[in-house]
Amino acid sequence: MATLDGIGRAMAGQHPSLKWAYLLIAAALMIEMVVLGVGITVAVLADDYYGHTKALRDAGEAGLLSDLGAIEAIGGWLEPLKFLGLAIFFAGIAVVLAIIIKTLQTRGQAMELALPQILGKRGNATAEEA
Amino acid sequence: MATQIMTRGPISASGEPDAVDMTPMQKMARLMWVPFTAMGVMIVGIAFLIGLFSLTPTISDYFDNSKVDREAAVAGSDIVDDRTSIESTKAWLPGFKFLGLGMMLGGITFLLATIIGNLRVAGGNIQRALGATPQVLKKPMTGHLFPMLMMMGMMVLVFTFGASIWLAVQANDYWDHSIATELNTAAAGSSLLDDLSTIQATGAWLTPLKFVGMALLFSGIALALATIVQVLRFQARRLVEIAGGSD
């Protein structure tokens, strides 16, 4: 059975699970920054590769084939990584929403216990005045 | 512990001396969430219509021609015009779609700020109705951060849309040539090869940058929700204080 004191103590400070949400958001933001960093690396490779004539690219001159291989291979994991970052954001948002549900329940309990007490005091004060 | 995050004493407000009002940012958010969300939906809808009624028929027309005809077509021909239209649309349309999604996420952030404003006003009103001095939560760090993240996200997406338009112009310049006689035979150091490498390189960093913009907007939304958690916890705590006889 919840008491007003218990609720007061439970509501003090920050919700303990909120730090997990912050951790997920920070991780997701870092993933998207890493994706951007890798994207810039791919851009440098692409700039080098497509700066050569089609004949050289098709002939697969030394160095060009490894550039092409890197451009294509990195794209294979970079695309899913972008979406992994977004998925982690959604996980973080889900954690915060779950905390909101729990907080609303506790807030409801606080109202249930506190309001009769507050209104009772006011009723007594009014009766004394009369 | 709890006192560290509370603003003690009445706050200034419009109307009655101890009434709690929304902050100017929350008032602005209350007005802005509808236009942002509506514009976002419209942009994404327009992008779909462009894809359906412009890009699809052009692609269909283009691939109705044999590979030999497509590659031999000269600048100014219908085939080359189709190709330039396809490539330039593919360059700017994703940036436009992301801008629309970003505006919708911005609208959601404004909506969450409006919810925080309403919680603030309602909390103040309840405290007054119970005969207590209205107190509000001192703006937490998350409350300072989420509008900034939202604005940064929007700026990144506006920038990527601008870069997409620039890329579309480059793509238009590049593809407005015969594939067989001009593009495939472009010499090293030619402006055509420069255009090609610019298009490929820009595409490689532009897409991740759009995701960074989205990431900033999602971070803003998550921190706005975290602010709501802190406001709700403060209000429950305040109710316990009032029941305990504290003013």
**HSE of A19 in the Cβ direction (CA atoms, 13 Å)?**
4
* Distance in angstroms (rounded) separating the CA atoms of residues B83 and B177: 10
Q: Does A84 touch chain B (CB under 8 A)?
A: no
C-beta atoms of B226 and A18 within 8 A: yes
Which residue, chain included where needed, has tokens 């009434």?
Answer: B19
C-beta atoms of A29 and B216 within 8 A: yes
Q: Does A92 touch chain B (CB under 8 A)?
A: yes
Convert B166-198 to b/e letters by CB count within 10 Å (16 or more is b). Answer: bbbebbbbbbbbbbeebbeebeeeeebbbbbbb
On whether residue B75 sits in a domain, the answer given is yes
Which residues make Cβ contacts (< 8 Å) with residue B45, sequence separation at least 6?
none
C-beta atoms of A11 and B237 within 8 A: yes
On whether residue B22 sits in a domain, the answer given is no
Q: Counting Cβ atoms within 10 Å, is residue A62 exposed (0-12), middle (13-18) or buried (19+)?
A: exposed
With beta carbons less than 8 A apart as the criterion, state whether B101 and B36 touch. Answer: no
Helices (H), A51-63: 54-59
Residue among B205, B230, B243 whose CB faces A39 most closely = B205
Q: Which residues pair with B7 in a beta bridge?
A: B136
Q: What is the pTM of this model?
A: 0.90
C-beta atoms of B233 and A103 within 8 A: yes
Q: Residue B11 pLDDT more than 70?
A: no
Residue among A14, A46, A56 whose CB faces B200 most closely = A46
* Distance in angstroms (rounded) separating the CA atoms of residues B233 and B18: 22
On whether residue B74 sits in a domain, the answer given is yes
- pLDDT, residue A124, reads 79
Residues B162, B167, B168, CA angle at the centre, nearest 5°? 95
Residue A63: pLDDT band with limits 50, 70, 90: confident
> For residue B6, what is the enclosing H or E element?
strand B6-7
pLDDT one-digit tens code per residue, B60-97: 999 999 999 999 999 999 999 999 999 999 999 999 99
On whether residue B19 sits in a domain, the answer given is no
Domains of chain A, by residue range, sit at 22-123
Which residues from A are below 8 Å from B209, CB to CB?
36, 39
ipTM, interface predicted TM-score of the complex: 0.90
Which residues from A are below 8 Å from B208, CB to CB?
32, 35-36, 38-40, 78, 82
* Distance in angstroms (rounded) separating the CA atoms of residues A50 and A45: 9
On whether residue B106 sits in a domain, the answer given is yes
Which residues from A are below 8 Å from B187, CB to CB?
53
Q: Give me the DSSP letters along B137-166.
A: EPPPHHHHHHHHHHHHHHHHHHHHHHHHHH
Distance from CA of B60 to the nearest CA of A (A): 27
Which residues from A are below 8 Å from B5, CB to CB?
13
Which residues from B are below 8 Å from A30, CB to CB?
none
Q: Residue B2 pLDDT more than 90?
A: no
C-beta atoms of A96 and B225 within 8 A: yes
Q: Is B19 left (phi over 0), alpha (psi -120 to 50) or beta?
A: beta
Residue among A32, A71, A122 whose CB faces B212 most closely = A32
Residue among B1, B2, B222 whose CB faces A93 most closely = B222
On whether residue B128 sits in a domain, the answer given is yes
Q: For the packed helices B191-243 and B78-129, what is the interaxial angle rounded to 10 degrees? A: 10
User: How many Cβ atoms are within 10 Å of B4's Cβ, its own excluded?
Assistant: 7
Residue B13: pLDDT band with limits 50, 70, 90: very low
Residue B106: closest CA among B62, B68, B69, B152: B152
* Distance in angstroms (rounded) separating the CA atoms of residues B122 and B115: 10
Q: Which amino acid is at B26?
A: Q
Residues A44, A50, A54, CA angle at the centre, nearest 5°? 160
Q: Residue A7 pLDDT more than 60?
A: yes
Q: Does A18 touch chain B (CB under 8 A)?
A: yes
Distance from CA of A1 to the nearest CA of B (A): 16
pLDDT one-digit tens code per residue, B181-220: 999 999 999 999 999 999 999 999 999 999 999 999 999 9
Determine the residue of chain A that is closest to B221 in CA distance.
Answer: A93
C-beta atoms of A35 and B208 within 8 A: yes
* Distance in angstroms (rounded) separating the CA atoms of residues B38 and A81: 30
Residue among A12, A43, A122 whose CB faces B2 most closely = A12
C-beta atoms of B2 and A122 within 8 A: no
Residues B144, B123, B222, CA angle at the centre, nearest 5°? 35
pLDDT one-digit tens code per residue, B25-61: 999 999 999 999 999 999 999 999 999 999 999 999 9
Residue among A42, A117, A122 whose CB faces B131 most closely = A122
C-beta atoms of A54 and B226 within 8 A: no
C-beta atoms of B204 and A43 within 8 A: yes
Domain span at residue B38?
A: 28-243
Number of domains in chain B: 1
pLDDT one-digit tens code per residue, A84-120: 999 999 999 999 999 999 999 999 999 999 999 888 8
